[in-house]
Structure 1
Amino acid sequence: MGPMEQAREQLDPRVGETELPGPVAETAKFFADHGIWCLFGRNGKALSCKDAAHKRYRLGKRGIPLEDELKSFLGHYTDSDGRLCYVAVHCRGDQFLDIGKIRAATGGHGAIERLATDASDENEGLYGLINPFSLTAGVRDVPVHQLFDPCVLEHRGLPNTMMTNAGERTWSVEFHPSSVVHALGNQACLADVTENKAVRRSGPVTIGIITGNAPDSGIILWQYINRHVQTVLGDRFLGDLSYPPVSVRSVPGLGLSMELDKRSEQVWEELEQAVRSLCEEGVQILSLACHTTHYFTDRIRAITQTYGASFLSVSECVTQWARCHGVPELTLVGIKYVAGLGEWSAYRNLAEITRVQPLSEKGLKRIHELGYQVKREGASEAGLNKLRSILDSEANTSHIVIALTELSILLDFQRKPQKSTRVIMDALKIYAEEVANTYIGWANPRELS
């Protein structure tokens, strides 16, 4: 269906609409003539960018981020030959135009004055109606030079489109900015025309997950990340399009970390290859679904930093969680390389924040055996019962932190939360929430404001 036909589908005969308003028809003609994609819609009367962003409909949902609403300014100036010239300037709705920069971009000849919009002006009603497609509706046939701030062309995550009015305040059009700029040809150019720049991104932010000890732990980490993204975004959650892009490397060799003190260099060889592979692929946020191998955090960061990527440490996330929640004491449940807080443990600094009750030698042995059981047999009710038995006999602190991914698999298998006077936290879940928050902060900074 062409732009003109789909625009006509938005007419409401119940209120006597039978023909497209002139400016809307002109907008539809622009997209039809240039053969570029667009999507028309209707909304309540919108008088500003903030008002419009609140009322736009996209992907079956009312409201879009302010940065996805196109802000447009129409002004005039006198050039060096004394001719009256018009300029339209466009940026994202969350930006502020800089008149000084606009003047410089137009040659710096004269003051830039906004076209008046009060009732005494012949251009009455232009406020809230300016767009790049139907400018002749407001300025008649006077040529208009159009400036687009480069931020308009940045990828801001799916659906990677912007919206603006279609020439009337109750009509919207969704479009790809790069296609519009290209279609305008010599009538448009890119220019820095805004004040303080918004966060710049060169493309969609991607999360990397390294797993393998056990493979299911990466799946659970991914699920936890998605659940937290959905929770944080709330009403702004758009389903599939709101989930982060994720690349996964499942490395069976990470299973060797169950004997880290005897096989550390062999484990690192396996891990290093996965880290470099994901960084070369362009991952910006790297995570590792394995508590033991976070021992290599410094080595991992030495690689990620050269690619401009960020690696999150699970032990640092748990330490921060304990600090923020004022946890007075906890039992750290994991194999000896983790729960022992010795030289092989990434959690060795946790004791500086809270009192950590150690597991007994018998408890460490039972946890080690249970980890191998889950690797072999998967999650089961028998495994859950063993975990409960270990916790009952080993942990008498107010808080328990599970720091073994095989036990995370068991907790995820649990059908109903067990009643307990103690707080049982899965470190993998704490980690996932921080990964998700980091993604949202990079990909959608407005959500954390």
Structure 2
Amino acid sequence: MNDPQHSGHGRARSRIGIITGSGPEAGLDLWAKVLRANRQLMGADYGGDLDAPEVVVFSVPELGLSMELERNDAQVWQVLRRTAERMAPHVDHYGIACNTLNHYADRLAALGLPARLVSMGEVARDYLAEHGITQVALLGARPVMDLGPWSAYRTLPQHASVEVPADPDELHAIIYEVKRRGGAQPDIVARFTQVLAGLASDVALLACTELPLIPAAVARPSTVDVTDLLALALARRSLEPRVASQ
């Protein structure tokens, strides 16, 4: 185990946290992507274990109720709030390994916790701006694609023209199947490939942690895993010096 006080060649680095549970594999996926992003950012300076970020992971199965967020709002928010409050004293920045749960980003910020949430909506908007993308498809669970008050991406149309699949319920059902059976099942791959084929946009945001688990090889649209964007943002923040008071 690396000594977090001496990570980054003797410099106390910022600590990062991951909240997961919807589903639990999503936290492992984000953690792995953070480690890869950290190695890439450090380049030739990366020397092994001592240069990995300090990561705290809280996996809470009850957060899986987020798939039907409107129905379970009160329960999900109480669980997420308690989890963030438990995590905050141990980290400087944290992310939530679930696009749907990022709906609560504003509420979490209002808690005034010592740790800062890096939200998926935030990193997606930054990506579109950086690459000059003005039209994008948004693929995720039904609450995400609705772009209403339950969506973590509800402000995305202020930054780009947003396309959603013609049959959002079909994609929602596919996500449930991935949670239950895994993403590599041939019928799941075929169904998701058909969803992608029906899109007019050249770029599609995979705004659900289950969708990148489906090995659908398509020439168009180009797919962007929002978890990759979040991992890169968290890895960058982990390289910042730790705040002395924490």
Q: Could you state the TM-score of these two structures normalised by the residue count of structure 2?
A: 0.90
| SS across alignment from 1:218 | helix
**CA positional deviation for 1:156:** 5.0
Q: In structure 2, what is the equivalent of residue 427 of structure 1?
A: 226
| SS across alignment from 1:157 | helix
Q: In structure 2, what is the equivalent of residue 297 of structure 1?
A: 105
* 1:403 equivalenced with 2:207 (yes/no): yes
* 1:221 equivalenced with 2:20 (yes/no): no
1: CA distance, partners of 2:239 / 2:191? 37
**CA positional deviation for 1:419:** 5.0
* Structure 1: unaligned runs, 5 residues or longer: 1-154, 161-200, 444-449
More strand by share: 1
**CA positional deviation for 1:328:** 2.2
Identity %: 30
Cα distance change on mapping 1:326 and 1:159 into 2, 3 Å: closer
| SS across alignment from 1:405 | coil
**CA positional deviation for 1:257:** 0.8
* Structure 2: unaligned runs, 5 residues or longer: none
Cα deviation, 1:35-71, whole Å, max 9, x if unaligned, reads: xxxxxxxxxxxxxxxxxxxxxxxxxxxxxxxxxxxxx
Cα distance change on mapping 1:424 and 1:306 into 2, 3 Å: closer
**CA positional deviation for 1:437:** 1.3
Paired residue type of 2:44: D
**CA positional deviation for 1:386:** 2.1
Q: In structure 1, what is the equivalent of residue 132 of structure 2?
A: 326
Q: In structure 1, what is the equivalent of residue 18 of structure 2?
A: 209
Q: 1:249 aligns with which of 46, 58, 83?
A: 58
2: CA distance, partners of 1:159 / 1:437? 16
More helix by share: 2
**CA positional deviation for 1:204:** 4.2
**CA positional deviation for 1:271:** 0.8
**CA positional deviation for 1:342:** 0.8
Q: 1:357 aligns with which of 155, 163, 169?
A: 163
* 1:345 equivalenced with 2:148 (yes/no): no
Q: In structure 2, what is the equivalent of residue 310 of structure 1?
A: 116
**CA positional deviation for 1:208:** 0.6
Q: In structure 2, what is the equivalent of residue 80 of structure 1?
A: none
Q: In structure 1, what is the equivalent of residue 191 of structure 2?
A: 386
Q: 1:284 aligns with which of 80, 84, 92?
A: 92
**CA positional deviation for 1:270:** 1.3
| SS across alignment from 1:400 | strand
| SS across alignment from 1:205 | coil
Q: Could you state the TM-score of these two structures normalised by the residue count of structure 1?
A: 0.50
Aligned length: 237
Paired residue type of 1:157: S
Paired residue type of 1:241: L
2: CA distance, partners of 1:437 / 1:386? 36
Task: Verify the 8 A CA contact 1:210 1:288 in the aligned structure 2.
Answer: yes
Q: In structure 2, what is the equivalent of residue 275 of structure 1?
A: 84
| SS across alignment from 1:320 | helix
2: CA distance, partners of 1:158 / 1:441? 10
**CA positional deviation for 1:406:** 1.2
Q: 2:7 aligns with which of 157, 178, 181?
A: 157
1:11-50 maps to which residues of 2 (within 5 A)? Answer: none
Q: CA RMSD of the aligned region, Å?
A: 1.8
2: CA distance, partners of 1:409 / 1:421? 18
2: CA distance, partners of 1:365 / 1:439? 38
| SS across alignment from 1:306 | coil
2: CA distance, partners of 1:211 / 1:158? 26
Task: Verify the 8 A CA contact 1:400 1:422 in the aligned structure 2.
Answer: yes
| SS across alignment from 1:345 | coil
1: CA distance, partners of 2:203 / 2:191? 19
**CA positional deviation for 1:158:** 5.6
Paired residue type of 1:389: Q
- Higher relative contact order (CA closer than 8 Å, sequence separation 6+): 2
Cα deviation, 1:306-362, whole Å, max 9, x if unaligned, reads: 32x1110110110111011100211100122111111111101111111111322xx
Cα deviation, 1:255-303, whole Å, max 9, x if unaligned, reads: 11111111101001111121111113x2111110011111111221233
